[in-house]
Amino acid sequence: MKWAPTLAVSLLALTAAACVLADVIAPASYTHQFRAEPDAAPSRQHLLGTDDLGRDRFSRLLYGTRVSLLLAPAAALLSSLLAALIGGTAGFRGGRVEKIVMSGTDLFLSLPWLFLLITVRALMPLNVSPIVSAAITFLLLGCLGWAAAARVVCADARSLRNSDFILLARASGSSGLRLLWRHMVPNLLPVLLAQFWISVPAFILTEANLGMLGLGVAEPLPSWGSLLREMQSYPSLAGNPWRFIPLLLFIVLVSCFQLVMVQEELPA
Amino acid sequence: MFRLGKHVARILLTVLLGGILGATLLRVAPGFGVDEEELDSRLNDQSIRALRQEQQTDTNVITFYFRYLGRMLHGDLGISRTLRRPVSELLRERLPETAKSVTLSLALGWALSFALVILALMSRSWSVDLFGSVISGFLLCLPAAVLSVLFVMSRAPARLVLALIVFPNVYRYVRNLLLRSASQPHVLMAQAKGLGNFRIMLWHILWPAAPQLLALGGVSVSLALTAAIPVEALCDLPGIGQLAWKAALGRDLYLLVNLTMVVTVITLLANSASNLLGEAFRPSAA
């Protein structure tokens, strides 16, 4: 199954390219409503049909995937950086600093993730513009999702701190900052990369959950959450199978991320 | 005894810090100190002044912290702004429903995971292992909310959704743990000596893995409680998950912060219980 991660990366790259070129590929804007054709079946004009407001589903899928594929990695990058800063500093300093920081991280981890997320989300205004709501949602994911990664980074930094080459660098007179920048950071990169790939699908799934609960990205801006939310208006599973294509693509993309994640986890 | 004390101290510290964090959230939230009652046109100036006077007592941050913590320790969790009912009363009403769903989902999720892993191990069949891995991988790619909607659309029992969310997470860990345990030299030795499959499974594979399995038990409680929000909200189950969702939509922070605190305490209790049980297993496992 060595070909699976390569296939996953290729599929992700293809999807990302299609989303970047959404302005060119999409037959209509994601807000444009074809009032005469609500809930239309797939046709040459509307490849995946239209939703109940007459918006082209294919266009919304492209733009929605763009929002999620752009912002979820951005949030993952933010949480990985926070994890590197908090976990890396704690592991590098050791002693009391490590104990205090890791106790704080443990306390943070004991708070239930989705409860905490919706509590903090509720603190923010809910009636904001779609772009601001997208930014708030993913910023919160990035700011609240660092704790588990920080534990892993701290453990890795601790073992690096006690390694021979760090001892040698210290003996050669390397200062704290130089040690951190030249020796610790490059060696922590594989772990951080693994944590980044773990966070991306987790954040996409969480955004989808929040979106379906009406607490994610606001309409009319599409995201995975709002695209999947459309399913709530379907009366049954039978009939009109094209309506489930966004869900199918979602499963394929998250599977691709999971496959890349497994590949990244192994060397880390 | 020392370990038990350590766990209790940790829970108390979390409640204390969580209380302070919660109080801070409430204190800095927009709309703090404003009472809708002031808009009642039947109230005269004197009554409005009296209302404002009542609100003034909470404007001092330190006083607010201590009052909030004091009330919390006495079981008074405040009044829900959207539902206009005491939070403790709402919790008493909704917690049993969630407890029922979570217990059922944990029992089913764990039973399914164990059944698949043990079947794969005892039959040494790669097809069973592949089946379990594919199913769990597929379920891990589905958001809990989508699974709930699919269940509603197919008119399947809503409580089963939580079990399908617990299953893939538990399955992966149980599979890896038991596979590692089964590849230990003492298991090979037991097989070479001709011990029965059941005996090997119980005493040589499951028993040494018991501490980690118990730790996973604690984590799975937290997982099920978190998944209860989308499941109860979308499947219309009247538990604390649905209550949290309604509170979030109505920006009912008193209710949300207290719900988060209660769920945190339940999670910590579950984790501490599983850790203590795991520690009890450890000497005999070694």
Pick from A175-179, A255-259, B33-37, B51-55: least confident: B33-37
Q: Is the peptide bond before A220 cis (omega within 30 degrees of 0)?
A: yes
Pick from A46-50, A123-127, A181-185, B53-57: least confident: B53-57
Number of structural domains in chain B: 1
The domain containing residue B88 runs over which residues? 1-286
pLDDT value of residue B212? 87
Mean pLDDT of A75-93: 92
Pick from A114-128, A152-166, B4-18, B32-46: least confident: B32-46
Any chain A CB within 8 A of the CB of B270?
Answer: no
Any chain A CB within 8 A of the CB of B140?
Answer: yes
pLDDT value of residue A180? 83
Assess whether pLDDT exceeds 70 at residue A134.
Answer: yes
Any chain A CB within 8 A of the CB of B13?
Answer: yes
| Chain B neighbors of A124, CB-CB under 8 A | none
Percentage of residues in chain A having pLDDT higher than 90: 36
Q: Are B241 and B230 in contact (CB under 8 A)?
A: yes
Mean pLDDT of B102-131: 91
3-class secondary structure, A56: strand
Assess whether pLDDT exceeds 60 at residue B286.
Answer: no
Shortest Cα–Cα distance, B143 to chain A (Å): 5
Assess whether pLDDT exceeds 60 at residue B57.
Answer: no
How does pLDDT run across A66-80, given as a tens digit for each residue? 999 999 999 999 999
Assess whether pLDDT exceeds 80 at residue B53.
Answer: no
Interface test with A, best of B10, B91, B95, B141 (most A CBs within 10 A): B141
Per this entry, what is the length of chain B? 286
Any chain A CB within 8 A of the CB of B229?
Answer: yes
| DSSP letter, residue A234 | -
Shortest Cα–Cα distance, A196 to chain B (Å): 17
Assess whether pLDDT exceeds 50 at residue B50.
Answer: yes
CB half-sphere exposure, B226, CA atoms < 13 A: 24
pLDDT value of residue B28? 66
Structure tokens at B105: 């989902």
Instruction: Read off the pLDDT band of B183 (50, 70, 90).
Output: confident
How far is A88 from B193, CA to CA, in rounded Å?
49
Cα of B126 vs its chain's centroid, Å: 33
N-term to C-term CA, chain A: 19
**Distances B278 to B14, B56, B187, B213, B285 between C-alpha atoms, Å:** 22, 50, 21, 8, 10
Any chain A CB within 8 A of the CB of B6?
Answer: no
How does pLDDT run across A202-220, given as a tens digit for each residue? 999 999 999 998 888 888 8
Query: Mean pLDDT highest for which of A92-106, A114-128, B119-133, B164-178?
Result: B164-178
| Chain B neighbors of A113, CB-CB under 8 A | 226
Any chain B CB within 8 A of the CB of A236?
Answer: yes
**Distances A3 to A8, A10, A114, B142 between C-alpha atoms, Å:** 9, 11, 35, 24
Residues 92 to 111 of A: which have CB under 8 A from any B CB? 107, 110-111
For A9-36, letters b (16+ CB in 10 Å) and e give eeebeebbebbeebeeebebebebbeee
Instruction: Read off the pLDDT band of B59 (50, 70, 90).
Output: low
CB contact under 8 A, B248 and A110: no
| Chain B neighbors of A231, CB-CB under 8 A | 146, 149-150, 153
Q: What is the CATH number of the domain that holds B136?
A: 1.10.3720.10
Q: Could you give phi then psi for residue A88, rounded to 5 degrees? A: -65, -45
| Three-class SS of B22-67 | HHHHHHHCCCCCCCHHHHCCCCCHHHHHHHHHHHHCCCCHHHHHHH
Assess whether pLDDT exceeds 60 at residue B180.
Answer: yes
How does pLDDT run across B65-105, given as a tens digit for each residue? 677 777 777 878 788 878 888 988 999 999 999 999 999 99
N-term to C-term CA, chain B: 21
Shortest Cα–Cα distance, A172 to chain B (Å): 42
pLDDT value of residue B281? 72
Shortest Cα–Cα distance, B195 to chain A (Å): 35
Instruction: Read off the pLDDT band of B146 (50, 70, 90).
Output: very high
Mean pLDDT of B250-278: 84
How far is B93 from B80, CA to CA, in rounded Å?
14
Nearest CA in chain B to A105: B14
Q: Are B52 and B38 in contact (CB under 8 A)?
A: yes
Interface test with B, best of A1, A102, A209, A240 (most B CBs within 10 A): A209
CB contact under 8 A, A118 and B245: yes
CB contact under 8 A, B260 and A231: no
Q: Which amino acid is at A168?
A: L
Nearest CA in chain A to B263: A112
Of B154, B226, B253, the CB nearest to A114: B226
How far is B19 from B105, CA to CA, in rounded Å?
30
Which position has the higher pLDDT, B9 or B166? B166
Which position has the higher pLDDT, B271 or B145? B145
Nearest CA in chain B to A224: B143
Any chain A CB within 8 A of the CB of B187?
Answer: no
